[in-house]
Structure formats: C-alpha cells, structure tokens
Structure 1
Amino acid sequence: MTGGGREILHKMKQKIWSWIEMIGEEKTCCALVTPVTPDAGKGKSKMPKHVTHGFHLVEGKSNHAMEDCLVSEFRKVDDNELGLFAIFDGHMGHKVANFLQAHLFDKILKEPDFWNDIEKAIRRAYHSTDAHILEHSLSLGKGGSTAVTAILINGQKLVVANVGDSRAVICKDGVAKQLSVDHEPSKEKKVIESKGGFVSNLTGDVPRVDGQLAVARAFGDKSLKRHLSSEPDVAVEMIDDDTEFLILASDGLWKVMSNQEAVNSIRSMKDAKLAAKHLADEALSRKSRDDISCIVARFH
C-alpha cells in the first residue's frame, strides 16, 4: 500500500472510532439481551427444563430521560447454563444504572467462590462494584441506582439479590411469593440515624433519607453514602414443578400493583414478552408516572 493509501486508511479508522465513541457517550438506559435478533425482547433456555423470558420498558412521564436498565439473557459457563436477569432503576441520571448493566454480572461471575458459596460471592461483588462506582463518581456522576438480580442455575436453582425497591416475585401454583426485600427508609430508620443521618416524613411525600432519597440502600449516591448501604438481601429458591414464572420489575410497576395482582394479571399468558408488556401497560392504565421496566421468565 502506498503512503497516500495508508494515510487515507488511517483517517477512515479515526472517523470510525470517533463515531463509536460518540455513540457510547450518548448511550441511554435500555435492555441488554444476547443475541440481538428481530425477536429482541425475548429468549429461551436450551436446558431440558424449558425456560422462556421476555422484557418490556416504558419511559415514565417525568422530567428526565429514561433511567431504567435491564439485563435478560442466558449465558453458557463451562458446562452450566446461567439465566441472568436484572433490573437497575437509576436516579439523578442513568450512568450508574448503565454501569451496573454492563458490569455487575461479570463481577459476580468472576468471584473465585461463585460456585462454592454463591451468596458470599454476590455480596462481595455488590460491595466491590459500589466501591468502584464511588471511586469513579467524577465520570459516573453523583446519582445512583437500585438493583435486583436473579441468577438461574441450570434451570433448577434461582438466586435473587437486591438493594433498593426494584422487586422480584415468583409465582408458585398461582400464589405470589416475594423474593426480594423493599429497602424503605422508614424500615431502616434506626440504622440510618445510627450513622448520623435522618429520615424525613413530610405530609404528602414518601419517607426519604436525609430528605432526599426514597430508598435506604442503593449503588452510588456518594453524597449520601455515609447514611446509605449497598448490602444486598439474598434469597435462594429451588425451581420445582409448582414454579410457574418469575417477575422482575422496577417500582414503577409495584407502586400501583400488588404482587398477587401482578401474578393474576399474567398467569394465563404463555408468551413471556407479551406478559411483560401487559404488566407495563396495566401499570400505565393505573396512572404510574415512573419509568417501568419488567422481565418475565416462564418455567414450562
């Protein structure tokens, strides 16, 4: 290749990388699903126990861009198949939720004791990820995010962890069972006060940490971190013949629907993606104004 040809090729590469970087900077919260196909928004397991999953997101009627992110995918790890599902509900921006979407599961799976003590591995990954977010607050911003993650191991064992008020609910023989814990400031008031913080309780408003944040646990939020926790609650659920489906959703859904109402609403629906959309549409019909993100995984 001539010198002129090499120079032209170099300039073309520079333009391409500039374009890629520009797209990366303008990335907003969305779904992360592998692979991306014309049927993006749904997928299925390859294990003998047939599992299908689908998701739906709706931007809320608030004065900010979409801040919810999610992950909904199956991943092969050695001889195991892992279903990886998560909802990340950002606040004061979407950068922390974006970071969690891109990195949290990788950090969990890289923990050396993941297969031997998964609960310990998840706790350590949550803490180290939060520390990284706080350390890089100049680039990730002053906001934060809730998280609810669910790892399905070979279609048989479900491990759910969460900080904040995004929620995981499972349906067993028609009965809703909540697997996550809503970390509300009013429930953790004593802990917050013991750290030097306070919980406001103004008329017409929800309880807030230091009069600002409506959850007691979250990733990020550097200015409030002395009074906040990123310690996850972890639950393990075995998938038996009575287990019908799993719902993961941000509080944009749970503010207007009870666990049992959500289960009843989609129990007869076999298509997981349509079920997730139905839940979001139902929340909108009930005047939810928040961002809504929802994942449904069906165990057939």
Structure 2
Amino acid sequence: MLPHNNHPSTPNAPEVLESADVQIEPITTARGRETFGTLNQHSSCNKAYQIGISDAQGPRPTMEDSYGFVVDFDAVRGQGLFGLFDGHGNKLAAEWCGAEFHKYLLDTLQRHPNTPIPEVLTSMFSAMDQTLSELSQSSALMAASGCTAVMAFLRIEDADGQQSFISSSPSQPADRTCLRQARTPPPTSKRVLYCANAGDARAVLCRHGEAIRLTYDHKASEQSEIDRVRKADGIIFRGRVLGYLNVTRSLGNHEAHDGFSLKKFIVGTPYTSRTELCEQDEFAIIACDGLWDVMTDQEAVDLIRGIEDVQEASKRLLGFAFGNGTRDNVTVMVVRFINTQAT
C-alpha cells in the first residue's frame, strides 16, 4: 500500500415517483468558468460526458446518502470523478466522504504520479478511513457512523497508461489546482474508467446494450467475504457481521460492538477495476443498494437506454426503485459518454 497523508428483458416503465422526498440535482452550468477543482459543478466546457443525478429519502426517517462529482478532474479536459456514499448508523461518515473524497484522490495522484491507478484508489480509501478513525476518537456519533462507497474515475491516458501531456511540460506547476485552465489531451489519447468500491453500492456500464458490472458487492452472504471475516475471528449470524451489519466492507464504523472492534471485520479495502472505454460504451449507472435491491443490472440498463436526457434517466431509475418497493434511501447517478475521444 502506498504511504499517504491522512489529511488533505426490458421491464415496464413505472410511474416516476413524484413527492416532496424526491430531490433532482439541478443542471446548473458554469459558463466560461473552469470547474476542475469545484465539487458538483457542471461546465459548459465539458464535451466528454453528461451527468444526471436524482435522490430520495423515501420512507426512512433520515437521508444518509451523499454524492459528489468533479468535471475535468485534476485539470485535464474530459476527465471526471464521480462518487456515491451510502451511510448507516447516521449520516456523518457519508457526508464527510462526499465532501472530501476528491481532495484525497488528488493528493494521492500528485504524490504518486507513476503508481498504477488501482493502487492509488486503494491507498486513497485507506487514507480516508484513517481520517474517519481519527475523527471518531473525539465524536461518538462519528464512531457509530459508516458508509458504503463507490467511485468512478474517468481518466485520459496515453497508450502506455501514462499522461505525457502533463509530465512532459516543465513549466506546469506541481499543484495543478493553481492552473487557470484545464489541459486538453491530444486526440490520440484513450479514456479509461477506473472504479473502486467498498460495500454494496454499485457501478454498472452499458456496452452496446449489455450491462457490465464494474464493482463487487461486499455482503455477508458472499462466501469469500464470510471466509475473510471468519479468518479474522469474526462471526456472521442472521446474515450480518456480528449480527450487526449486512455489508462486510465500508468506510468508517470505528466503534466497538459487543466488545469487538467492528473495523477488524468490516474493512475499508476496496475492490478495484479498470475498463478501457470503446465506441460501444454508452453510459454508466452509479447507485446505492436502494436501487439494486429491486432491479438487476440489465433491467437498469434496459430501462434507460433509450432516454437521451441523463437527468430524466436518473429520475426514471429512482421512480422504478420506489415503484417496486424499495424501503431505503436511493441515490442514482447516470453518466452518459458523448464520445470515446478525449476532448
């Protein structure tokens, strides 16, 4: 692990849920502004993808989901960072992750520019979890809080996986947040989608109509996770780790339960994947288990494939979830790829 700093068949379309609980992320655009350092800000300069987000508290007493995205992430035109965090215990861990995750990835990337991205993502998750541990020492509420996490990093690369259009310029500052304008990669660049997740929040790619899962569900029903927990001297009963939590990986959860440290069993180490995008790749769906508990990956892809408007697509998925009985908070992010060339 890298050293790190701790701080810096098509279903019938349902009626879309219309209630005061439904929150639709407005498509506000920063015209003439660079947004590569700004969280949750759309940009008129972005020609590489479109983002639609919908969420709803549903019947739960509180909303414990959080999300974030950065257009032209790390000052590279066409890059994007997308994250979703599904809280449990309370909302503190998810809210903190949603507000801070992009800073942790940027810091790790800039300190380890030649490290494979999956390793960078693993180190980033570890750093975030360590900070949550430190925050938990002075806050019982934070100690009781945790969240599943899923991130997708759309990266522009050379054929060899490097970014020579950045490193080959000696005049570029090391801290790219100081730049006034994002770099435009050469047209020969490729787009690679890196994903990382801990828990059961999920990312799914639509490739020419086929659903391809990019993440792994870490649940107490998965044999590999059962074996890992047991090897750490933990137990799973009633389908939950120590009878408490049905996911086996998360960020946070730095409290003791029945005299045991939950973190010994519910670890924050993510599953990672790398997918080089091609012309057949249409969009990605990033959502919490409130959606995936009531529909399959392929059903989700089939439901929205014919919807060009990404905001309407995310809203349609949200409506399906509640129309089919989900009892959880639901957050859905749809990222539609405009083309496969860096722009």
Pairwise TM-score range, normalised by the shorter structure? 0.7 to 0.9
TM alignment of 1:107-122, pairs within 5 A: 107-111=104-108, 112-114=111-113, 116-122=115-121
Tell me the equivalent position of 1:195: 232
Contact kept in structure 2, 1:72 and 1:85, CA below 8 Å: yes
RMSD after superposition: 2.5
Are 2:143 and 1:130 aligned? no
Query: TM-score, length-normalised on structure 2?
Result: 0.71
What is the Cα deviation at residue 108 of structure 1?
1.2
Aligned-pair CA distance for 1:227: 1.3
Deviations 1:196-221 (A, max 9, x none): 211113xxxxx110001010000111
Is 2:147 the partner of 1:145?
yes
> Counterpart of 1:134 in 2: which secondary structure?
helix
CA distance 1:70–1:115, change in 2 (3 Å) = farther
Structure 2 gap segments, 5+ residues each: 1-22, 31-38, 157-189, 257-261, 339-343
Among candidates 216, 227, 230, match of residue 248 of structure 2: 216
* Pairing partner for 1:61 from 53, 59, 63: 59
| Residue identity opposite 1:211 in structure 2 | G
Question: Paired residues, what number?
Answer: 263
Q: 1:200 to 1:34 in 2, by over 3 A?
A: same
Q: 1:77: how far off?
A: 2.4
Change (3 A) 1:216 1:79: closer
Does structure 1 conserve the Cα–Cα contact (< 8 Å) formed by 2:85 and 2:98?
yes
CA-CA distance at 1:43 after TM superposition: 4.0
Percent identity between matched residues is 31
Deviations 1:212-246 (A, max 9, x none): 10100001111211111111011011111000100
Counterparts of residues 1-300 of structure 1 (less than 5 Å): 43=42, 46=45, 50-62=48-60, 64-111=61-108, 112-114=111-113, 116-137=115-136, 138-139=138-139, 140-154=142-156, 156-187=191-222, 188-201=225-238, 207-222=239-254, 223=256, 224-300=262-338
Give distance in 2, aligned partners of 1:32 and 1:159. Answer: 24
Aligned partners of 2:71 and 2:79 also within 8 Å: yes
Query: Structure 1 residues 43 and 80 mapped into 2: Cα distance closer, same or farther (>3 Å)?
Result: closer
Q: Determine helix, strand or coil for the equivalent of 1:277.
A: helix
- Quote the Cα distance in structure 1 between the aligned partners of 2:59 and 2:268: 28
Counterpart code for 2:253:
D
Q: CA deviation at 1:82?
A: 2.4
Contact 1:31/1:72, CA 8 A, preserved across alignment: no
- The normalised TM-score by structure 1 is 0.81
Q: Aligned-pair distance for 1:42?
A: 8.5
Which is bigger in relative contact order (C-alpha 8 A, separation at least 6)? 2
Q: Residue 119 of structure 1 aligns to which amino acid in structure 2?
A: P
Deviation at 1:33, TM superposition (A): 9.0
SS at structure 1 position matched to 2:268: coil
CA distance in 2, matches of 1:45, 1:264: 29
**1:194 CA displacement:** 1.5
CA distance in 1, matches of 2:299, 2:112: 38
Q: Structure 2 CA distance, aligned partners of 1:42 and 1:134?
A: 29
Q: Is the 8 Å Cα contact of residues 290 and 330 (structure 2) preserved in structure 1?
A: yes
What residue number does 2:172 align with? none
Q: Say whether the 8 Å CA contact 2:232–2:264 is kept in structure 1.
A: yes
The corresponding residue for 1:16 is none
Query: What secondary structure does 1:87 align onto?
Result: strand
- Structure 2: distance between partners of 1:42 and 1:173: 29
CA distance in 2, matches of 1:174, 1:261: 11
Determine the structure 2 residue equivalent to 1:20: none
3-state DSSP of counterpart to 1:77: helix
Q: What is the Cα deviation at residue 119 of structure 1?
A: 1.3
Structure 1: state its 5+ residue gaps: 1-29, 202-206
- The alpha-carbon deviation at position 32 of structure 1 amounts to 9.0
